[in-house]
Structure 1
Amino acid sequence: MVGDLSMGQPFDQSRRTARLVQMLANACNGAGEHTEIGRQVALLRWSGCTANAEGFTRLLGDDVEGRNAMLSQTLNAAGLRAMRRSTPLAQIHCEVSGDIASTLGLRSEVEHGLRNVFEQYDGAGRPSGLRHPQVPEVVYQVLLAGDLEILSRMHGLEAALQWISSHRDQRYPAALATELLQHAEDWLDQLRQPQAVASRGAAAPVSLTLVGDVIDLKLPWLAGYSRRSSELAREAARLSGLPALAVDHLGQAALIHGIGRAAVPNRIWNTPGALLEGDLEQVRLVPYWTSRACGQIPALAVSGQVAAHAYERLDGSGYFRSLNADALQTEHRLLAAALAWQALVSDRPWRPAFSHDAAACLLLEEAGQGRFDPRSCQAVIAAACGETSMTVCKPCGGLLSERETEILRRISTGGSNKEVARQLGISPSTVRTHVESVFRKLQCTTRAAATLKALTLGLI
């Protein structure tokens, strides 16, 4: 699904292609293990595309829409000329895909297919320019099935069949293409029927750290972000006293929260400063895509929903649901704080990483503005500093001045302006001015609310 989104495709494109590959493989060679090999190559053929997203951004300007145009055969003349320089990007993609297959312990035929997934019958493919019969049969099957699925969806069945027919003995063997052309309409009709998720029995589970790593490859400056966020969120959850199962779900959520990031072009992620409204709208959809993807994987039902709340804020300014504090659970608040912290202490193309002290200052000030949960921020800061218990941290830079803090401490215990003025040897009007400043900084209008916020932020 990450691969589909990165290529500008619906996130069921690879699954639809995999079903077509199985039909084609079965029609040509009957039932057998080769159909499962074809299915796995089809499902993983885009698994390396986050690794070369930055390269496609430089090549085509937009890594997501550019690759969509490449797959749908709608690249303009400039794009076609640029693609002549894409061999190094294909090499990156194939190497990463092959390594993923190896890491997952899949069969050597699957790995071999993925390492050559862009090769073609006539030698015009990439990265090695292999010719038939050096190209694995499964590569032809996946290429054919993918062309049929994408072109029929984008241009209609008749146009797709004509295009495939015109590329026989160029992209794929004529005999194999002819077999597909004979059954294409019927097979596409079968795709309209939902397919139950089949149990894979004793298949080994996939490590979510691998998924997080693949997600992070999309942006060179994001490497390791999901892993570090997961470790931080887990530790903050333990310090907060969450049960073990909730800690696990939170750690998983941090690893997969960026699934939807694949759908957003790198040019947007690399933009410093405020985004255009249209670009911001794409960013707001990141947790939506994460939610939709995880919702189709039963094992990620709980952690996926936590991940979908990664960018919500207590004051309702977050996305994609714009929820407020009443709708956000402890796990949601911890995840949001952990991700914000990890972003602050990481280098970005437009700024260096903040120090821990500066990051704590910024995070607590955001909490003071009502966007993050103060207790969750305290837990994250404590976890990041290697502490074994929660400690109260005061915002850097003095959110309140020393005099304002002293006056707030006194009025919080019930002292009137006149009483505080007498105790401190200043005029009641000066006390009133300081109180008004405190209310403004804490965004409060009553003493009770100011006292509560100051206590949660560790100001008094």
Structure 2
Amino acid sequence: MHGTSLLPELEHSALIPARDAIVAIAFIGDLSMGRATDQSPRTAWLAMALARTAGCSEDEIAAVEIAALLRWSGCTANAAGFERILGDDVAGREAMMALTLPPMSADAQSQMPEMAQIHCEVAGDIARMLDLGATIETALRHTFERYDGNGLPGGLRGDAVPLATYLVQLASDLEILSRAHGLPQALQLIAHRAGQVYPAQLAALLAQHAADWLAQLDAFSTQDSLLPPALNTVAQPVPLELVADIADLKLPWLAGYSRQVATLAQAVAQQLALEPAVARRLYRAGLIHNIGRAALPNALWNAAGPLAHAAWERVRLVPYWTRRAAQHTSALAAEAELASYAYERLDGSGYFRCVSGEAIPTERRILAAAVAWCALVSRRPWRAAHTPAEAAALLQAEAQAGRLDAHIVDTLIAHVTGQPSPQTRKASALLSERETDVLRRISLGESNKEVARALVISPSTVRTHMESIFRKLECSTRAAATLKAFTLGVL
């Protein structure tokens, strides 16, 4: 693969093979879209088969495979927008892709160009960060274009739309629609969309082989069998922080949260003089512990007050989905197992396993305490961030009740109370100090008015700073600016 990577040289980042990063990002995308967790690998396999049958070169086939895996890589970035439009961003987008969503209002339709722009810009930036080459990046930047010119974000038409975009669209439609409606009706829907969404000739080629290809897919015994061989050609190691940042984009107020958990868990392990390998494993587990949150709608996470029983049962599955997300990434197997214990408690009141006592060894106890602390000192839509003193008192109460390890809690509190706030970090050379302040607040979901009020400047000044930030970071959406800022070390 060729291209200009946006990833900086990070000496202390947690590097993993690009193959594993792509698989993890694909899993996050499938969770966020309410899809089956093998949807992206199956789509990649179908896109490969269609590309080969259409006479594409081996390089084109490889590009189509990876573009299919990353098709939903921008969907965490616009989840907040889809919550506003559809209410349930997960189920709503699942219905949209299955063509079962009721007609949207004119107001909702008017917001779709923005949703497409956010998704495609972030997906394209991810491809560039991963140094995947122009073909994949271009396809992802035009994910929702249509043959008839009525697509998004650019309204491209006919041959101006990348061939890879058409191939992935067709493979995705076959996979999703056949599961939702059965193969005969799926083929009818695809035929109806032929000449509008994608070229009729390609749609006819797909229909000719669809039954055989789906039968071959169903014969595979594991998801690993579906993963395209092109992944093995992507050799560049990738910072695991990128996967964490993509997962955290799901909720604006989570920006940087997984990095905070990872850094704190590693620091506590070092304070306890644990082996360096344990500290590194805790850092990596902290980065991925939040992946499973993508499976649940934003409205649930934004709700104030106690959750209803049914909603709480869904929350209890978050660490399960985190564990599943990394089961197919060999580089993260141990970390995924550790990360899935982030919400267990010593008295058995945690989730999803409800284990207790000796079943939760030291490193799992450290991660649980780090997650609890970072949640307490972070702002949530229904409450302000707790002060360090308040958070310390709450964490100590949990330890006294037998839910968290008292020695680990004391070590954590002693460490954090002697450290400067992460928000005192110096501005980077890329952005001015004021621009960094503005972007930090924007990244957490604050509106221009909220930022203006907090920084005692006018909303028009905030807009001016945002225009400068977009120009310097070479992006046009807040989600893309947030992702780039964390990746480049600005935040």
Q: Within 2, Cα distance between the matches of 1:80 and 1:151?
A: 25
| Residues paired across the two proteins, number | 388
Q: Which structure would you say has the larger RCO, counting Cα contacts within 8 Å and 6 or more residues apart? A: 2
Is it true that 1:192 corresponds to 2:244 in the alignment?
Answer: no
Q: Which residue of 1 aligns with 2:198?
A: 172
Which of 310, 314, 317 lines up with 1:282 in the alignment? Answer: 314
Normalised by the length of structure 1, the TM-score is: 0.82
Relative distance call for 1:261 and 1:237 in structure 2 (3 A) is same
Q: CA deviation at 1:383?
A: 2.7
Deviation at 1:205, TM superposition (A): 2.3
Partner Cα separation in structure 2 for residue 365 and residue 164 of structure 1: 58
2:128 equivalent in structure 1: 102
Structure 2, unmatched stretches of 5+, are 1-26, 420-491
Quote the residue 2:292 is aligned against. Answer: 260
**Partners in 2 of 1:62 and 1:289 — Cα distance?**
19
TM-fit CA distance, 1:133: 1.6
Counting only pairs closer than 5 Å after superposition, residues 195-344 of structure 1 correspond to structure 2 as 195=225, 198=229, 200=232, 203-344=235-376
User: 1:118 — aligned with what?
Assistant: 144
Q: Any stretches of 5+ residues in structure 1 without a counterpart?
A: 388-460
Deviations 1:367-423 (A, max 9, x none): 101111111212222332347xxxxxxxxxxxxxxxxxxxxxxxxxxxxxxxxxxxx
Look up the equivalent residue of 2:292 and give its one-letter code. G
SS of residue paired to 2:212: helix
Say whether the 8 Å CA contact 1:237–1:379 is kept in structure 2: no
Structure 1 position 206, deviation (Å):
2.5
Partner of 1:38: 64
| 1:144-187 CA distance string (max 9 Å, x none) | 00000000011100000011011111000011111101000111
Task: Note if 1:377 corresponds to 2:413.
Answer: no
Q: Percent identity among equivalent residues? A: 52
Quote the RMSD (CA, aligned, Å).
1.6
Which among 349, 353, 362 is matched to residue 394 of structure 2?
Answer: 362
**Does the 8 A contact of 2:132 with 2:234 survive in 1?**
no
Distance of 1:379 and 1:18 partners within structure 2: 47
- Distance, in Å, in 1 between the alignment partners of 2:408 and 2:143 is 46
CA 1:75/1:40 → structure 2, altered by over 3 Å: closer, same or farther?
A: same
SS at match of 2:143: coil
Q: Is the 8 A contact 2:43 2:168 kept in 1?
A: yes
Q: 1:224-252 CA deviation, whole Å, 9 max, x = no partner?
A: 00011111111011111211111111111
Higher alpha-carbon Rg: 1
In the TM superposition, residue 30 of structure 1 has moved relative to its aligned partner by: 4.4
- Following the alignment from structure 2 to structure 1, what is the Cα–Cα distance between the partners of residues 401 and 258? 26
Aligned-partner Cα distance in 2 for 1:272–1:325: 31
Looking at structure 1, the residues matched to 31 and 49 of structure 2 have their Cα atoms a distance apart, in angstroms, of 24
Taking a change above 3 Å as real, the CA distance of residues 15 and 81 of structure 1, as seen in their structure-2 partners, is farther
Q: Confirm or deny: 8 A CA contact 1:312 1:319 kept in the other structure.
A: yes
Q: What is the TM-score when the length of structure 2 is the normalising length? A: 0.77
CA contact (8 A) 1:236 1:382 kept: no
CA shift digits 1:300-338 (9 cap, x unpaired): 110000000010011111100111112001111000100
